[in-house]
Structure 1
Amino acid sequence: MDERDWLIFHILYEKRNITKTGQALFISQPALTTRLRQIEDELGAKLIYRSGKGIHFTSQGEYLAKCSKEMLTRIQEIKDRITNMHEGVRGTLRIAATHYMTKYKLPRLLKLFKTLYPQMEFKVNTVWSKEVLNLVNTQEVHIGFMRGEYPWPDEKKLLFEENMCIASTEPISIQDLPNLPRISYRTDESVQLLIDNWWRENFTVPPFISMAVDRLDTCKDMVENGHGYAIMGSGILHKSDDVYKTVILDKNNTPIIRRAWMIYQKDALSINAVKAFVDFSDTIDYLDF
């Protein structure tokens, strides 16, 4: 099996569907089916079988799927090491980041870094903070940008802090919130827990959710157009001059804050590109970036 075969089996295990796997890899369904049969013949084992509910894996197939992820990680590690043997900073930096970081921080950050190191390329995955942890931990990416409080045992750098606040186009009295329309948005578990805990500390009734959207920036747009209030970090509102920002406090009257972090494994610093990026990141003021 070559790298392409390991990738086929890895994606197939994730998708559990021949058609979707072929689409992800730009392989026709007949060609993919043929290659899977060839892999089974080469290994002398039945790896998958089909039913009306999709693809299922035999015990041998389950083992091969586990190996596929390990093999792809190892192959990428070998490529990184070979690239690292060249002089200078070059190669592909693999990054996992939340939607907020990808949209508001990374574009300019990567542009400036590439200006310093023009031979660098980037591969960016936009995921939730919890998935950032997983991708860095399994070495599928070199650097992770996440927000919120999650345990991470290796290298971790604080990028910025922001106050959690009530955003609205009109002045709001906190005790009136249960009767006012609120706009909710999908967010990381840690942030949702932070907001929910604050609400339970202050109110005995649930909020009046008038609108639910998928992204924080969409929620901000709705707030700016007067459709209701929202509870969000102040960072996304720094250019929203027409929005009132009321900082929320915990029971000790201390502002509730949300932190953004950069995480990586210490061993990854042996890769020139990772070391250069971490050093470069130390020169950036992320809050005003």
Structure 2
Amino acid sequence: MDDRDWTILKVLYEQRNITKTAQLLFISQPALTNRLQQMEKEFGVQIVQRKSRGIEFTPEGEYLAKCADEMLLKTNKIKDHVLNLRNKVSGTLRLGVSNYFTRNKLPGILELFKNQYPDVEFKVVTGWSRDVLNLIYNQHVHIGFVRGDYPWGDRKQLIFEETVCIASREEINMDDLPNLSRIDYQTDYWFKSLVNDWWIENFTHPPVIGMEVDKVETCREMVIRGLGYAIMPSLVLEGIPNINKINIRDKNGNPILRRTWMYYHEEALELNLVKAFVQFMEAVDLSEPL
């Protein structure tokens, strides 16, 4: 069994479908089936059974699939430490990054870091902040970039913070918000709770949701067209002219902030690669476009 075999088991267990697994791993179905047969021969057990609606793992196959995460994590740690013995900054830095940070900040960060350390490669996994938190907690990535104040018991660094604002093309009166059409978008649970709590503190009637879209960038474009107002982090509107913005505040009059954190485990600093990246992030200025 090599890394590729454990990866096949991991993805196949998640998908429960040979066709989808082959597509995700960019291999042919016959090649994937052949690898499964080789694994079954190696362990002397049947791993999966074909059913009319996909496949079903045998008890032995389910056990092996559940070992896949552990084996892949162990292999990554071995590779990390072998490269670390060279006493230079090299290898593959594994990052878990929230969706919006990936689109707007990460490319510039990685370019600058790569310029300083050309022997470094990157593996980036994106998703909602709660998913990134799970990735870093389970050590599937070296470092996680999380938007929102999620609880974390190990090392963390505040990367930047931004205000949360009401955005509209035309000037609006805050008192009129319950009667105006709002554009909502899919976002993480933490931010949705933050906005809901603010609304409840300030209004007795629910908002009028005139439109729901898939992501914040789509929402921004709707706001630019004058199709309603939205409540969003100010970074989303960076460089967008002619948009009216009103920062929302808590009951004490303080601006409500959306913070982005860098989370990592203390033990990860033993790797030259991670230590160099953490030090790099301490020096980089994210308040300016990269």
Number of equivalences: 289
Give the structure 1 partner of residue 259 of structure 2: 259
| Equivalent residue runs for 1:96-245 within 5 Å | 96-245=96-245
CA apart distance, 1:212:
1.7
Deviation string 1:130-178 (CA, Å, 9 cap, x unpaired) is 1111111222111111101211111110111111110011111122112
Give the structure 2 partner of residue 75 of structure 1: 75
Alpha-carbon distance between aligned partners in 2 of 1:88 and 1:38, rounded to the nearest angstrom: 38
Instruction: Choose 79-88 or 197-206, whichever is displaced more.
Output: 197-206
Give the structure 2 partner of residue 11 of structure 1: 11
SS of the aligned residue for 2:80 comes to helix
Distance 1:226 1:134, change over 3 A: same
CA apart distance, 1:46:
2.7
CA apart distance, 1:103:
1.1
| Matched AA of 1:14 | E
Distance 1:54 1:203, change over 3 A: farther
Specify every segment of 5 or more residues in structure 2 that has no aligned partner in the other structure, as ranges. none
Alpha-carbon distance between aligned partners in 1 of 2:219 and 2:239, rounded to the nearest angstrom: 15
CA apart distance, 1:241:
3.0
Instruction: Choose 139-148 or 207-216, whichever is displaced more.
Output: 207-216
SS of the aligned residue for 1:132 comes to helix
- Determine what percentage of the aligned residue pairs are the same residue: 54
| Matched AA of 1:68 | A
Distance 1:30 1:234, change over 3 A: same
Aligned-pair Cα RMSD in Å = 1.5
Give the structure 1 partner of residue 88 of structure 2: 88
Alpha-carbon distance between aligned partners in 1 of 2:256 and 2:194, rounded to the nearest angstrom: 8
| Matched AA of 2:100 | Y
**Is the Cα contact below 8 Å between 1:235 and 1:287 reproduced in 2?**
no
Alpha-carbon distance between aligned partners in 2 of 1:23 and 1:112, rounded to the nearest angstrom: 33
| Matched AA of 1:139 | Q
Distance 1:257 1:64, change over 3 A: same
Specify every segment of 5 or more residues in structure 1 that has no aligned partner in the other structure, as ranges. none
| Matched AA of 2:171 | P
**TM-score scaled by structure 1?**
0.95
